[in-house]
Structure 1
Amino acid sequence: MVKVKLFSINKKLASNILSLGLLQIVNYVFPFLTVPYLSRILTVEHYGLILFSFSFNTYFGVLCDYGFGLTATRDVAMNSNNKDKINHIVSTVTFIKVIFFIFSLLCNLVIVFSIAKFRDYWFIYLLNCFTLIGGIFAPGWLFQGMQRMRDILPAQIITKVLSVALIFLCIKSDNLYYLWPVINIVTTIVGAIYIQVILFKRYDLKYTLPTYTEIVAQLKEGWHVFLSTIAISLYTVSNTFFLGILTSAAMVAYYASAEKILNAVQSLLSPITQALFPHLTKQVTEDKEKGIKSLHEALIKVAILGAILSISLFIGSNFIVKLLFGHKYVDATTSVLKILSILPFIICLSNMFGIQTMIPFGLTKQFSRILIVSSICNLIFTFILVPRFSYIGTAISVVLSEILVTGMMYFYLIKSGIDIVRGRVLYYNQV
């Protein structure tokens, strides 16, 4: 029987969790300072329009990321002492991201000027596309892989404080809603410049032109994670997008506001799960038995925290919505939030079964298959439920999809002989 020491933790891992925790506070608390202001000064329609445009832009963000957030992080973690190798990884990934950004920009132009629903607000969608620059030149995955997230804290603090200040100073009425994405572009570029300075001065990073072989190798390595990310977006981000396509901007505002709260709550666990990934990957690589025991211990801790967050979110949903968004959102958004409140617990389990276990064990193909199947099911749920139940149907679709993902991942791990619930390898069969 495995004994779990709930408060036993590696010092380097603890430092990385703390840094990631501070990053999450910066990334979510600072923007939430503007939520009560923006949700009240903007009409529900304009607020929903901006949130809808964010969800549309996320598709291009998924393309530009291409799964490097996991595969490149893993590569850096495994080569953290090899400076030359890290230079090549960063150069190759950045080059690919730039190409994907150019392609995304061209696709954005074609879509917004071809479809009437987008054409009326084409400038909003194009402005949001330029925020992808941050994902290219502010490589959080590099610092995560090196377990040095504290080095990018100043950049995040500066950009978020600047963003909050500019929103309060510049957006004084509803007809200035378009300045929201403009402010996002400005702060994104400021953050990217700051991080590039750190990379050159502190890490002596040297960009090199990647070879064809290096590019192909990175694309192949990230392919299955990329497919997984697309699948994940189909039952997360796509819910907001399809709700906007099938209903109205106001319905998007009601649902996306609840989702915003949910994401903020889930972000409390992100520092732990993000810091665990390189740590557990290294342990599984070195010793599978030891890695399984570590995964078992992590599962118990993360599941307990997830359950606490889910219960707290359900109980406090009405108060939170009223505080952040005001009375015009209370009835609709609270109903959505109560349905979504189970997700912190469910997603904790799926994260441990999927990202933390399947990927380190080399089960990326199976991981992506599960997500693809679940995303297809989610689309079916969406097109059945949303026309009838609007934003409530979207919330139900998301919950059903997440439960399906978690169940399938656990079933496949058991089938492969990996049981992190009991903390043992039954047998290791990489199907």
Structure 2
Amino acid sequence: MIYMNVIKSRVFLNAVYLFVVQGVTYLVPLITLPYLVRVLGAQSYGVLSFSLAIIQYFILLTDYGFNLSATQKISVICGDINKISNVFWSVTCCKILLMIISAILVYTVTKVFDVMNGHELVIFSCFGLVLGNILFPVWFFQGKEQMGLSSISNIISKLLAIPLIFLLVNNPNDAWIAAIITSFTSISGGLISLTIIYHKKWVHWVGIRDLKIIQEFKDGWHLFISTAAISMYTTSIVVVLGIFSGPISVGYFTAADRIRQAVQGLITPITQACYPRINYLYRTSPEKGFELVRKLLYFQGGITLTLSIILMMFASVIVKILFGNGFERSDSVLTIMAFCPFIVGISNVLGIQILVALGYKKVFSKILLCSGGLCLILIGPSTYLYSENGAALSVLITEVFVTIAMLIVVLAKKVPIFKRENLNNEV
């Protein structure tokens, strides 16, 4: 009976929609990545990856903490169009302000740092991703548990990339074209999603004087610090590796990391679909909320452990099939990071679905800040000594640290995730 209710629930439907989107999200790279790697070569592909890593900082900045803080608000006030509209326009204005700051910073960075010389065109071509990220309010659809509609725009935009890349990217000098295509499809998806919101009349116009822009910045601050810390051991690794070892090593690392992220991304639909529902249940029926978290922990842990074992056992075969000859150095990188999907799968439940959802945002931020600091300590010497393998090792060690730290906090807070307990004495 419980499973039938789950199947009929919005959570299950949203998870299905998100799986479709995630499938397309990783199907497109699986189709285009081998082609890009072969056509661009390790050098140009490394430049493209390096440029995307730089732009990722500014996507992070414009995301701020809204993907969690705003989603949480929308899920709670889902029946009040006035409040929903205020949150929507307040967050959108915040993101636009952050995009303007980002544009200034991107221009400054390309002019100040020598390592950017020769890469300006590719970096500028990637900046459209920042605009696309703002135009696509995934946090809004997630909060309303209407991921099916956002899936349409997501799928259409991502599928557009396939013919464009095969038609327009033909030699190592076309890295900037690949970047423009990526930006174009991102912006297209955002415009489609906004059209859906407009036709559904989910929000109405709110005057700028009535917006709560400062409040939204305050509410997302600790989550922004957390995501910034995460960036230290994701985006920064590629940047530091590029500085110490050059674009070729970046190409080897990024190729393997894309595979790792594809496998790791399989859990994203589950976590995104469950997050708003878990928030709702914590406030209306805590027992059911913790029951859902327990099921998610065991299910997600089992799935990711299986995937990690497969990834480790067949790393060289997977790299060979996807990238062909010349990328043998990616084998060891993928082997080192093979268990990251399992580790991240556990930490996601402990961190997002428990600590953040229960209001322990400051503790969550501190853990990720410490882990970011640890990564910064490791990344320099590890990439200098062991190049792309050192970068992979830094990722693995940092993810293990995050998971252990979050588990310690969850146990210290006596959150009943492993067994049913009397909630009067918990949390």
> TM range, normalised to the smaller chain?
over 0.9
Give the deviation of 1:275 after TM superposition. Answer: 0.7
Change (3 A) 1:428 1:277: farther
Instruction: State the alpha-carbon separation in 1 of the partners of residues 356 and 174 from structure 2.
Output: 45
Instruction: State the alpha-carbon separation in 2 of the partners of residues 88 and 182 from structure 1.
Output: 33
Report the equivalent of 1:94. 92
Instruction: State the alpha-carbon separation in 2 of the partners of residues 424 and 237 from structure 1.
Output: 40
CA contact (8 A) 1:347 1:402 kept: yes
CA contact (8 A) 1:417 1:426 kept: no
Alignment match of 2:147 (pick from 140, 146, 149): 149
CA contact (8 A) 1:285 1:360 kept: no
Report the equivalent of 1:170. 168
CA contact (8 A) 2:128 2:184 kept: no
Report the equivalent of 1:27. 25
Alignment match of 2:386 (pick from 385, 389, 400): 389
Alignment match of 1:206 (pick from 204, 207, 217): 204
- Aligned partner of residue 42 in structure 1, secondary structure: helix
Report the equivalent of 1:290. 288
Provide, for residues 367-420 of structure 1, a one-character-per-residue CA deviation record: whole Å limited to 9, x for no partner: 000000011011111122111111111111111111110111111111112141
Change (3 A) 1:337 1:6: farther
Give the deviation of 1:80 after TM superposition. Answer: 1.1
Moved more, 105-114 or 317-326: 317-326
Instruction: State the alpha-carbon separation in 2 of the partners of residues 136 and 207 from structure 1.
Output: 18
Answering whether residue 135 of structure 2 is matched by residue 159 of structure 1, we say no
Report the equivalent of 2:297. 299
Give the deviation of 1:67 after TM superposition. Answer: 1.1
Q: How many residues align?
A: 427
Moved more, 304-313 or 411-420: 411-420
Give the deviation of 1:155 after TM superposition. Answer: 1.3
Answering whether residue 215 of structure 2 is matched by residue 217 of structure 1, we say yes
Instruction: State the alpha-carbon separation in 2 of the partners of residues 327 and 59 from structure 1.
Output: 32
Provide, for residues 194-242 of structure 1, a one-character-per-residue CA deviation record: whole Å limited to 9, x for no partner: 1111111123532323447711111111000000000011112211111
Give the deviation of 1:428 after TM superposition. Answer: 6.0
Answering whether residue 349 of structure 2 is matched by residue 312 of structure 1, we say no
**CA RMSD in angstroms, aligned pairs only:** 1.9
Report the equivalent of 1:271. 269
Instruction: State the alpha-carbon separation in 1 of the partners of residues 42 and 179 from structure 2.
Output: 17
CA contact (8 A) 1:296 1:423 kept: no
Change (3 A) 1:10 1:238: farther
Instruction: State the alpha-carbon separation in 2 of the partners of residues 207 and 266 from structure 1.
Output: 38
Q: Which amino acid aligns with 1:353?
A: L
Give the deviation of 1:421 after TM superposition. Answer: 2.6
Give the deviation of 1:326 after TM superposition. Answer: 1.1
Alignment match of 2:247 (pick from 242, 249, 266): 249
Alignment match of 1:333 (pick from 330, 333, 349): 330
Alignment match of 1:378 (pick from 372, 375, 378): 375
Answering whether residue 339 of structure 2 is matched by residue 342 of structure 1, we say yes
Give the deviation of 1:189 after TM superposition. Answer: 2.2
- Aligned partner of residue 168 in structure 1, secondary structure: helix
Change (3 A) 1:406 1:423: farther
Give the deviation of 1:73 after TM superposition. Answer: 0.7
Change (3 A) 1:340 1:424: farther
Answering whether residue 338 of structure 2 is matched by residue 356 of structure 1, we say no
Change (3 A) 1:280 1:119: same
Report the equivalent of 1:115. 113
Report the equivalent of 1:368. 365
Give the deviation of 1:177 after TM superposition. Answer: 2.1
Instruction: State the alpha-carbon separation in 2 of the partners of residues 343 and 264 from structure 1.
Output: 12
Moved more, 213-222 or 65-74: 213-222
Instruction: State the alpha-carbon separation in 2 of the partners of residues 70 and 302 from structure 1.
Output: 20
CA contact (8 A) 1:292 1:425 kept: no
Instruction: State the alpha-carbon separation in 2 of the partners of residues 404 and 7 from structure 1.
Output: 37
CA contact (8 A) 1:417 1:425 kept: no
Report the equivalent of 2:397. 400
What TM-score, normalized to structure 2?
0.96
Change (3 A) 1:189 1:213: closer
Moved more, 104-113 or 292-301: 292-301
Report the equivalent of 2:415. 418
Give the deviation of 1:33 after TM superposition. Answer: 0.8
Query: Where do 5+ consecutive residues of structure 2 fail to align?
Result: none
CA contact (8 A) 1:416 1:428 kept: no
CA contact (8 A) 2:89 2:211 kept: no
Change (3 A) 1:381 1:10: farther
Instruction: State the alpha-carbon separation in 2 of the partners of residues 272 and 10 from structure 1.
Output: 15
Q: Which amino acid aligns with 2:418?
A: V
Q: Which amino acid aligns with 1:359?
A: V
CA contact (8 A) 1:152 1:195 kept: yes
Report the equivalent of 2:15. 17
Instruction: State the alpha-carbon separation in 1 of the partners of residues 52 and 372 from structure 2.
Output: 20
Q: Which amino acid aligns with 1:362?
A: G
Q: Which amino acid aligns with 1:283?
A: L
Query: Where do 5+ consecutive residues of structure 1 fail to align?
Result: none
Instruction: State the alpha-carbon separation in 1 of the partners of residues 336 and 196 from structure 2.
Output: 43
What TM-score, normalized to structure 1?
0.95
Instruction: State the alpha-carbon separation in 2 of the partners of residues 7 and 310 from structure 1.
Output: 30
- Aligned partner of residue 33 in structure 1, secondary structure: helix
Report the equivalent of 1:125. 123
